[in-house]
Amino acid sequence: MHTPRKEKTALLGDLLVRSELISRHDLTTALTIARQMSLPLGHILSVNRFVNDHELYAALRVQALIRDKLLPEQQGLDALSMVREKSIPLEEALETKGWKSEYYEFTNNLGKLLLDANALAEERLEAGVAVCHSSGLPLARVLVLQGAISEFVAYAALTAQMLLRDKKIARDQAVGALRLTSMHGDTIEDYLEFGGLRKIRPDHILRLGEMFVLSELVSELDLLSAVERGLVEAQPIGHILVSHNLIKEEVIEAALRLQDLIREHKLDPLQAVDVLKEYAAQDKLSLEEIILRVASKKVLPPPTAGLQADDAKLLETIHGLGFVSELELANICKEVNKGGISVMDYLTSETRFLLTEAKLKTSMRCRELVDRGALTLEQAIFAVHIWVWSGGDFDNVIKDIGWLPEIEKSRQ
């Protein structure tokens, strides 16, 4: 039987010899020491001063770029020679040799965006880029694995890169929205829309990646890698997930169908997630059969059903602002219905301290502004996030955002 020959990959020592940074004798000596001490070759070369740290780092990056077929081998060798001859950074040497890689450029731009948004410290970026180029892993995934940024911020940065690439936002908008996302936690689309940009996507539409994560079919880290590679290679995320054997093609098709049903208001996002999770876990039922069963399930009434209208609105606001959890909301509704008291009496009772006076007062102010049409609930949630972080007077926060004139106008 014919066995396919394994494609030869660039070896670190070979690259250093062929670029004349070390001699063949130096490499043989270093390899012998590395074997005896069970240490990486690069460490031995650096410690014994065959190359300096700057040259070793450049060689590791060239090795990764050649291996990923992003850099022609000869250009990499020429650039490494120039790094030593002219004592210049690898980026400058590659540029001099006329090399330009979309992936390399994307990685640098992503790092600069995170730095400018104060979402990442410079030393953390340098460490991340080093691992990125030596391991071949995408930068966003490396930074998350290193604990430098959260999955949420990484995803926001990739979204900003996509919108910049498609010329849907300016760079200052991307930097500002990413900074707010890293500080307060809302999605970058929310901040861009609150800043006056037209809607990035329709309400209640799940991205494919979000659907796969919520359905527990793909981890957040794998999604980050797929999104970054998709942006660099200009490929749909579904294609990337299938090519890396993370998702089956039929599951991608099912997810696309579910997106259409959400868009047509025939399924809500949570139902779609339940359908996709069940469909991927079995091979007996068709997608349509699972959709019919999930869609026919009885929808439970909201916890606030049965409360007075004003009480229900106030509790919905308090919950929407994140001041009480789903469980706390259900317990409050149960106790209020059972005791025959108002929500306000329940919340201000000395025996139940669920909210500070400031949070209760802010919740009531938000409800008033939403009822008057001066703010949407989403805008109120956004303003409260800023208020919780900055403190002070809630109306002053609204004024700083630029919404107070509209609110004052609505009073007239």
Write out the DSSP string of 92-124.
HHHHHTT---HHHHHHHHHHHHHHHTTSS-HHH
Q: Are residues 315 and 269 in the same domain?
A: no
CA atoms of 61 and 46, how far apart (whole Å): 15
Residue 326: inside a domain, yes or no? yes
The reply to whether 131 falls in a domain is no
Does 151 reside within a domain?
Answer: no
Which of 239, 270, 298 corresponds to the end of one domain? 298
Residue 63 is part of which domain span?
12-100
Phi, psi of 206 (to 5 degrees): -90, 135
- Among 274, 298, 322, give the residue marking a domain's end: 298
Establish if 66 belongs to a structural domain. yes
DSSP structure class, residue 236: -
Whether 234 and 292 share a structural domain: yes
pLDDT in tens, the chain (412 residues): 333 333 445 688 888 999 999 999 989 988 998 888 887 888 888 888 898 888 888 888 788 777 766 678 888 899 999 999 988 888 788 878 777 666 667 788 888 999 998 889 888 888 888 777 655 667 888 888 788 888 888 888 888 888 887 787 788 888 888 888 787 766 666 656 554 444 444 444 667 777 888 888 887 777 777 887 777 666 777 888 888 788 888 999 999 899 888 888 788 888 888 899 999 988 888 999 998 888 777 555 667 777 788 888 888 888 888 787 777 788 888 888 887 777 887 877 755 556 778 888 899 998 888 888 887 777 787 778 778 766 678 888 887 767 665 445 444 4
Does 253 share its domain with 278? yes
How far is 45 from 51, CA to CA, in rounded Å? Answer: 6
Residue 33 lies in a domain: yes
- Domains identified in the chain, total number: 3
- Domain contains 58: yes
Q: Could you tell me if 17 and 72 lie in one domain? A: yes
Last residue of a domain, one of 298, 320, 335: 298
Query: Are 249 and 318 within one domain?
Result: no
Please report whether residue 112 resides in a domain: no
